[in-house]
Chains A and B, each alone.
Chain A
Amino acid sequence: MAWNRYWHHRGAAISTVVMAILSIIVILAPFTARYGVNEQVLHISEGNNVFLPPSKLAWFGTDDIGRDIYSRLIWGIRTSMFIGVASALLSVVFGTAAGALAGLRGGKFDDIMMRVTDIFLAFPFLVVVIIMRQFLGNISWLEPVLGPQTSIRFIIWLFAIFGWMGVARLVRSQVLVLKEREFIEAARAVGGSNLRIVVSHLLPNSIGPILVALTISVIGAIVGESTLAFFGLGPQPGSGGTSLGKLIELSKEGAKQGNWWLVAFPCGALVVLAIGINFIGDGLRDALDPKLDAGN
């Protein structure tokens, strides 16, 4: 049922195919990329290799030190997708646990948690992220867990620390509705523990919203990484890597100099990812929640 409804959502179906192809290209980066991450398209002695417009030599042009944008995009999307998926999974795990706990127990814990998340979510994302990034990065005893401030691990944790709040609110509201239903009462009557009720009744019944939250978190983290990189605050994947954010950072200068390929391809890739993943989220919402139809 849900499966059929999902594939009837035209945007979601097309996006799923596009995202699947993109994922394969990105996973097989060693074969699909034409050059290495830091490889120049030709040695400087063989001619100018800097800011070349798109050509046979470099499909998407070259950057300020003569590297192939096409290949770097593939490597960069690979890193960014990893950041997105990893931090989304972490957010969903923490958020679901916290939301289920708050919804089921209620009382003081619930009050305080909701108040804190309310305040956090009301503030401009960028301001909070900039402060938290600096704050967490400067606490030396957290470094063994979070990693250095400019590492990919740190960024994943940073987004997970924000992401769980939205998920927690969602799961909490779902739990509040569900826990009044008869089947939960029945489970309680036969002596089911809280943990058992959460794991085998509440979670399976909230899987729809959780899945939607997961997809939205993925794109949230990918866009978040690019936003931070735009301000030069993104992760520095080191000499062996790049990220979508690093490429987008370059497009800021590219636009002012009129090098259109430095803007078009990285930004285009980000927009394709954003629209694709949003469509998938939309499709999942429509498919998994029959009460909500497309709005007509």
Chain B
Amino acid sequence: MLRFIVRRALWLLPTIVFVTFLVYCAVRIGWDPVASYKRANPRASKAKMQQYREVNGLYDGFGGYLRGYKEWLWRFVQGPEQWSRSIKGRAEVWPPLRYAIFNTLRLAGIASVVGISVGLSLGVLAARHPGGWFDTTVNTAAFFLGSIPPFVSGVVLQLVFAVQLGWLPPVGVYPPGHEGFDLMLMLKHLTLPVTVVAIQTISAYSRYMRASLLDVSSADYLRTARAKGISEGAVLRRHGVRNALIPVVTVLAIDIGALLGGLIITENIFNYPGMGVFFIRASTNGDFPQMMPYLVIIVTSVLMFNLIADLAYAYLDPRIRLE
């Protein structure tokens, strides 16, 4: 077990480096800053072009990408002060990104806690009487809500609760011009974005949990537990839910990608200054020094959570042996 963990963890770093290199190449080819510089300054001299390339590390050809990536990576690992500066405006990348990360973590954290706890509880309650009215309601609602794309629910909630009824602010984390920290005001601004993300999470997890619990409900150990004469609640708590959580936990870790994707959409609807808005702005500008740190965070978290999913599965289910 320990050997497996160490081996997988050691593989994680080269994988991250390799995947980020591929991403770097794709971004460099896709946005090609040299070409757009040429378009913007059609009469730039050869020397000027060369200087532009040198300053931003934009070398041509596969060897050039490798060299550019190496230079970029070397600056990246030295810490935020040394990071390559943005191409447009030569601004530092870390301060705005840090602000965005905190905003996103706040939104994602609250939404995940609300979504997962509500979703799992609904799933458990629904599975208690399969086919009953509660089960049918939860199932149908989850099906309908899960089919609605997040940008639709976002725009509709914004229209109804912010614009028409005026109960909640439509955009941002604070009203324009606000300074300092204000919990109530922040929570008010967070309500709608959190709801949009949580709707997706609730509909997914209530269905996972229900299906998983029904899967184990016919298991022999549940019959044994009931035969021992313990109460139905204890059977469910101690034997049912615990075993049903095993597959759910792994899905949870793998779903991090979907969560990060959903955040981009939600943040953009509500002009919430998080990482999704940061990435969209950086990609519209075609600014790869700004895009890369975001993409490194995405790559690292996806690969790491995949590893965690594998480990959690093995830890929770002793029948799984890792070679």
Interface residue ranges, A against B (CB under 8 Å): 118-119, 121-127, 130-135, 137-139, 223, 226-227, 230-231, 248, 251-252, 254-258, 260, 263, 267, 270-271, 274-275, 278, 282, 295-296
Contact = CB atoms under 8 A, between A and B. Distances in A.
14 contacts: A122-B302, A131-B23, A132-B26, A133-B30, A134-B31, A223-B149, A226-B151, A255-B158, A255-B163, A260-B159, A263-B155, A271-B148, A275-B144, A295-B210
Contacts of B155: 251-252, 254-255, 263, 267
A124 B261 contact: yes
A128 B247 CA distance: 26
Nearest to B27: A131
Given A122-B302, A124-B260, A278 B163 contact: no
Contacts of B144: 275
Contact of B261 (A126, A134, A255, A296): A126
Interface stretch (B42-50, B100-108, B236-244, B262-270): B262-270
Nearest to A258: B163
Contacts of A139: 29
A256 B163 contact: yes
B54 interface: no
Which of B149, B258, B261, B303 has the most chain A CB within a 10 Å cutoff? B149
B80 interface: no
B30 A131 contact: yes
B303 to A, nearest CB: 8
A295 B29 contact: no
A124 B264 contact: yes
B211 interface: yes
A126 B264 contact: yes
Interface in B31-59: 31-32
A251 B269 CA distance: 11
Contacts of B156: 255, 263, 267
Nearest to A138: B30
Given A248-B151, A251-B155, A256-B158, A122 B211 contact: no
Contact of A130 (B149, B164, B283): B283
Contacts of A227: 149, 151, 265
Nearest to A277: B147
A134 B211 CA distance: 39
Contacts of A275: 143-144, 147-148
Nearest to A251: B155
Contacts of B211: 295
**7 A-B pairs with least C-beta separation:** A124-B261, A134-B30, A135-B30, A255-B159, A135-B26, A267-B152, A274-B147
Interface in B228-266: 254, 257-258, 260-261, 264-265
A258 B170 CA distance: 11
Contacts of B158: 255-256
Nearest to A229: B151
Nearest to B259: A124
Contacts of A137: 30
Nearest to A278: B147
Given A122-B254, A125-B261, A248-B151, 12 more contacts: A123-B298, A123-B302, A124-B264, A135-B27, A135-B30, A252-B151, A252-B155, A260-B159, A263-B159, A270-B152, A271-B148, A278-B147
A131 B26 contact: yes
B19 interface: yes
B295 interface: yes
B173 to A, nearest CB: 17
B96 interface: no
B280 interface: yes
Given A122-B254, A122-B306, A134-B283, A278 B151 contact: no
Interface string B1-41: 00000000000000000010001001101111000000000
A135 B264 contact: no
Contacts of A270: 149, 152
A122 B254 CA distance: 7
Contacts of A124: 257-258, 260-261, 264, 298
Given A122-B254, A124-B260, A260-B164, A274 B30 contact: no
Which of B151, B260, B283 has the most chain A CB within a 10 Å cutoff? B151
A119 B20 CA distance: 12
A252 B271 CA distance: 11
A167 B254 CA distance: 19
B130 interface: yes
A134 B30 CA distance: 5
A231 to B, nearest CB: 6
A227 B241 CA distance: 36
B265 A230 contact: yes
Contacts of B269: 252
B279 interface: yes
Nearest to B262: A124
A217 to B, nearest CB: 15
Contacts of B130: 295-296
Nearest to A267: B152
Contacts of B163: 255-258
A271 B156 CA distance: 12
Nearest to A273: B147
Contact of B151 (A118, A230, A282): A230
Nearest to A134: B30
Contacts of B198: none
Contacts of B23: 131
B152 A271 contact: yes
B29 A226 contact: no
B214 interface: yes
